Amino acid sequence: MTKCYKSKWIISGDGNLFEDSVMVVEEGKIQGIYKESEFDKSSCKHFRDYGNAVITPGFVNLHNHLQYTDIQKIAPKGFKAILKRCFSKLKKKYYLGDVKKNSFVYKIGELLSEYFVMSRADKQKSFTDGLEQALLAGTTTLVQLSKETKYFEIVNKAPVKTYLFFELFSDSRESSKEEFRTIQKKIDKFLKNKSENTFIGLAPHSICSVHKRLFKTLAKYCKKNNLLMTLRIGESQEEMDWLKHGFSDIDVLNAFTGLSKFEPYMKGVSPVNYLLGLDVVNKRLIASHCEFLSEDDLKLLSENNVSLAYCPRSNEMVHGKTLPLDIVLKYFNNNFGFGTNSLAFNKSLSLLDEVQAASGGNIDTLEAIKYLTLVPAKILRLDNITGSLTLGKDADFCVFPLKEGEDFNAIMKKENPAHVYIKGKKIVEDGTLHHKIA
C-alpha cells in the first residue's frame, strides 16, 4: 500500500532540505521525495498532510543504559526486598564509606546499589519505561549496554532497531577465559534467534575492569566475526590515576562489584596508548565519554578511525566536565553521534536536548540532524537501511509541528516530535505511544 506524507519541510538527513514536498512510502520503504506541485495525489491510497511541520529521519542514540530508567522510583516490596536493601546499604557503607560522595566511584557505587535491590520484574519495567521514553523522543535506532541478557527478548520484539552491546568484566586470565566462553555461547544463541531489528556487539566495560587477556581475546574475536565493540575510555579521573599509579579508588569500586584487585599491564601511559597495545583501537571500536583524554589521545583515536559516542549532559552531571563540541568536531568530524546514557545521570532521553546542551544553539540545523541520523547509522553500519530519507531505506521518521512564523530551524528548540514512524508504521501519535512495548 502506497502512503504519502506531505509537510512544509522535509530534512532528508543527507544534507538535503525539501520545501512543500511529499514523501512516498511503500511497504515500509522510502520511494522518494517529490515537490507537491509536481505530485499526483491520486496515486496514493493514503495521503497525510502535516501542513506546517518538519519531517526528519528517526534519530539514532549511540549510548544508553535503559535499565536504570526507574532507579530510586521503585520502593522495595516484601520481606525479601527489604532484606536486600538493608544488605545493599551495609555493603555500600563497608566498601564506599571512605570514598568522597561527589566522586565518580561513589556515584556509580550508589547507582549499582540501588539497581541491586530491584526485582527482576522491576528491572524489566525500568528498561521498558526507558525504551518507551526513547521512542517518544524520536529515537528509532539505539545502542543499549548491559551485562544482563534478560533484555534481549524485550528488544527482539520491539519495533525499534536495537544494537545490544553486552558488557564484560574480568580481573585475571582465568576469569577472562570464563567470561569469554560464557558470552561466546550466548552470542551464538542470540544470533540464531534475533529479529531483523536486533544487532549484537561487545562492550568490555573499561580499562580498569577488564584484564588484558580478555581485551586481546575480544579483539581477535571481533576481527574474525566483524563485530563492533564499544568501550568507555578516559571516563574519570580515577581511571587516569589507576593508569598512572597502578591503583586508585577504582580498586574500591571493583571490590564493591566483586572484582579482585589487579593492576594495569602498563603504568604511566595514556588510556589510548594502553589500548593500542591490546589491538582494540581500530575502525570497529566506538569510544564513549572520553572527557579526560588529551588532544593527543583524541588524535590517536581519530587516526585509527575510532568513532565516538558523545554524551555531554551525563558527563557534566557525573564529572562536571565534557568534551567541548568544537573539539569533538575537530577530531571526529563525520564520525560521532550523541548518546543520552541513562536517566540515572540525565534529565531526559531527548537527543535534541543533548545537541542543545552541547552547542548552546550554535549549530547549523542540517548539520545537527546529520549527527543524529545518518552519521551514527553509518557508525553502526546500518546506513543501508536507516539514517536518511532516501530511496530504498526503511521509513523511519519523525514529524515536528511548527507554530506560525517558525521554519525548520525551530525543531532544534523542541524536545520531542509529535509523531514517530518506524518502517512506515505509526509508533507515536500526537505525543502518545501508539505501539505498546511488551
pLDDT single digits (tens) 348-386 = 999 999 999 999 888 999 999 999 999 999 999 999 999
Above 80 in pLDDT, residue 98?
A: yes
Neighbours of 142 (CB within 10 A): 29
What whole-number distance in Å separates Cα of residue 4 and Cα of residue 56?
15
pLDDT single digits (tens) 267-314 = 999 999 999 999 999 999 999 999 999 999 999 999 999 999 999 999
Confirm if 301 and 272 have CB atoms less than 8 A apart.
yes
Residues whose CB is less than 8 angstroms from the CB of residue 137 and which lie 6 or more positions away in sequence, other chains included: 59, 348, 349, 350, 351, 352, 415, 416, 417
For the chain, the structural domain boundaries read: 2-57+386-433, 60-379
Above 70 in pLDDT, residue 438?
A: no
Above 70 in pLDDT, residue 391?
A: yes
> What's 2-57+386-433's CATH class?
mainly beta
Above 90 in pLDDT, residue 133?
A: yes
What whole-number distance in Å separates Cα of residue 179 and Cα of residue 331?
33
Sign of CA pseudo-dihedral 250, 240, 275, 290 = positive
Residues whose CB is less than 8 angstroms from the CB of residue 332 and which lie 6 or more positions away in sequence, other chains included: 298, 301, 302, 307, 308, 310
Cα 346 to its chain centre, rounded Å, is 13
Residues whose CB is less than 8 angstroms from the CB of residue 2 and which lie 6 or more positions away in sequence, other chains included: 24, 25, 26, 31, 43, 44, 45, 46
Enter the pTM of the model. Answer: 0.95
Residues whose CB is less than 8 angstroms from the CB of residue 125 and which lie 6 or more positions away in sequence, other chains included: 70, 74
Above 90 in pLDDT, residue 114?
A: no
pLDDT at 76: 65
Domain 60-379 has CATH 3.20.20.20: no
pLDDT single digits (tens) 27-47 = 999 999 999 888 888 778 899
